[in-house]
Amino acid sequence: MHVFVTGASGWIGSAVVADLLAAGHEVTGLARSEASAAAVEAKGAHVRRGDLDDLDSIRAGAEDADAVVHLANKHDFANPAVSNAAERAAVQTIGDALVGTDRPFLVASGVAGLAQGRSVTEDDASPFHGPGSPRGGSENLAFEFVDHGVRTVSLRFAPSVHGPGDHGFIAILAAIAREKGVSGYPGDGTHRWAAVHRTDAARMVTLGLGKAAAGTRLHAVAEEGVPTREIAEAIGRAFDLPVAAIPSDDVQAHFGWIGTFFALDLAATSTATQKLLGWTPSGPTLVDDLAAGAYSA
Ligand SMILES: NC(=O)c1ccc[n+]([C@@H]2O[C@H](COP(=O)([O-])OP(=O)(O)OC[C@H]3O[C@@H](n4cnc5c(N)ncnc54)[C@H](OP(=O)(O)O)[C@@H]3O)[C@@H](O)[C@H]2O)c1
């Protein structure tokens, strides 16, 4: 299959491109800069220059391919309305381009806010609809295209897609710990974060491309929930820092914007995904990655 990948130069995207190519697919990656284009090309993929703000480039990429994996995101966490609007516009554009084709449209998403007080499962529909909701309600928007001849599949990544070179949430938490001289965890540290190694996440995307039916929610989750206290302790061991509970009232001041996420319970299961795809995550755990120095660079 010829697969158009947005976010092909990103943390997850670069692993997805490698996995798709290894599985025999042809890949074209969206790239918004010379550096990103060079990174995509170095993997052995074609490059389509474009930007989330240039919807024509995204439309053309979708029209020219047999399938789309949409992973690009502006990740403006300080001003999420910007990211959410771009995400919604991109999903609308790709969906419109694929109407009536029955082609796969795999859309990145997450597990935050999909269930309260328990692990999120693939049966949990997203409650987020409309432009003002998290991620711009993009999962439900993408699923609207199922009734219009698009094989939409949601890729719900664990809040930590970890491994050497990760610049996401765990890297940010490690940087805060080093800056503050203490590795903190919010409250009593019993809230949990689901986790998956990057290579396992990429494998799941490739398998989902081949096997998931329209309307499927796939969970890229290997560990159902690592307690935030254990994450903080592993960061403390990795950087030889003391570990401390951060009282709820001080979480924002200590962690900044990421405190909102670190204080959430973000556990999720992947039983249905593993069964459907025959996918068995086998990469290192989050704590193993921290112990092995994956975040030390
Ligand atoms: N990593 C996680 O733990 C995690 C967890 C849950 C959900 N997700 C979701 O999974 C997807 C991939 O995440 P990731 O961790 O791989 O993100 P990432 O490393 O930040 O990569 C983002 C990608 O989007 C591209 N991009 C950003 N702004 C763009 C723009 N204006 N136009 C075109 N491309 C643009 C980046 O291109 P450049 O290389 O040029 O910057 C990069 O390829 C995202 O939707 C993310 O929200 C990730």
> With a 6 A CB cut-off, is 72 part of the ligand 1 pocket?
yes
Q: Which whole-number Å values give the CA distances from 166 to 101, 116, 126, 224, in the listed order?
A: 35, 28, 27, 20
- Centre of ligand 1 from the C-alpha of residue 247, in Å: 31
Q: How deeply is 132 buried, as exposed, middle or buried, from its count of CB atoms within 10 A (0-12, 13-18, 19+)?
A: exposed
3-state DSSP call for residue 136? helix
Cβ neighbour number for residue 263 with a 10 Å cutoff: 18
- Centre of ligand 1 from the C-alpha of residue 13, in Å: 7
In 271-297, which positions are buried (b, 16+ CB within 10 angstroms) versus exposed (e)? Answer: eebbebbebebebbbbbebbeeebbee
pTM flag (> 0.85) = yes
pLDDT in tens, the chain (297 residues): 999 999 999 999 999 999 999 999 999 999 999 999 999 999 999 999 999 999 999 999 999 999 999 999 999 988 899 999 999 999 999 999 999 999 999 999 999 999 988 999 999 999 999 999 999 999 999 999 999 999 999 999 999 999 999 999 999 999 999 999 999 999 999 999 999 999 999 999 999 999 999 999 999 999 999 999 999 999 999 999 999 999 999 999 999 999 999 999 999 999 999 999 999 999 999 999 999 999 997
Supply the residue whose CA is at minimum distance from atom 1 of ligand 1: 161
Rounded distance, CA 88 to CA 275, Å?
A: 30
Q: Which whole-number Å values give the CA distances from 131 to 12, 76, 83, 101, 136, in the listed order?
A: 25, 16, 11, 26, 4
> With a 6 A CB cut-off, is 261 part of the ligand 1 pocket?
no
In the prediction, which pLDDT does 162 show? 98
Per-residue tokens: 244? 């401390």
> With a 6 A CB cut-off, is 61 part of the ligand 1 pocket?
no
Enumerate the CATH 3.40.50.720 domain ranges in the chain, comma separated. 2-159+196-222
Long-range contacts of 36-45 (CB under 8 A, 24+ apart): 36/8, 36/9, 37/9, 39/9, 39/14, 40/8, 40/9, 40/14, 43/8, 43/14, 43/17, 43/18, 45/5, 45/8, 45/17, 45/21
> With a 6 A CB cut-off, is 108 part of the ligand 1 pocket?
yes
End-to-end CA distance of the chain: 36
In the prediction, which pLDDT does 297 show? 74
3-state DSSP call for residue 120? strand
> With a 6 A CB cut-off, is 49 part of the ligand 1 pocket?
no
> With a 6 A CB cut-off, is 202 part of the ligand 1 pocket?
no
- Centre of ligand 1 from the C-alpha of residue 240, in Å: 30
> With a 6 A CB cut-off, is 137 part of the ligand 1 pocket?
no
In the prediction, which pLDDT does 207 show? 98
- For a substitution probing ligand 1, which of 4, 11, 196 has the most ligand atoms within 8 Å of its CB? 11
Which atom of ligand 1 is least distant from the CA of 51?
32
Smallest CA-to-CA distance from 186 within 224, 237, 229, 231 is with: 229
Read off the DSSP letter of residue 194.
E
* Half-sphere exposure (Cβ direction) of 75: Cα atoms closer than 13 Å: 13
Smallest CA-to-CA distance from 201 within 188, 220, 228 is with: 220
In the prediction, which pLDDT does 77 show? 85
> With a 6 A CB cut-off, is 73 part of the ligand 1 pocket?
yes
Which atom of ligand 1 is least distant from the CA of 109?
7
Rounded distance, CA 96 to CA 79, Å?
A: 27
> With a 6 A CB cut-off, is 13 part of the ligand 1 pocket?
yes
* Half-sphere exposure (Cβ direction) of 119: Cα atoms closer than 13 Å: 20
In the prediction, which pLDDT does 116 show? 85
In the prediction, which pLDDT does 78 show? 83
> With a 6 A CB cut-off, is 159 part of the ligand 1 pocket?
yes
Rounded distance, CA 106 to CA 6, Å?
A: 10
- Centre of ligand 1 from the C-alpha of residue 218, in Å: 18
Q: Which CATH number describes the domain made up of 2-159+196-222?
A: 3.40.50.720
> With a 6 A CB cut-off, is 33 part of the ligand 1 pocket?
yes
> With a 6 A CB cut-off, is 134 part of the ligand 1 pocket?
no
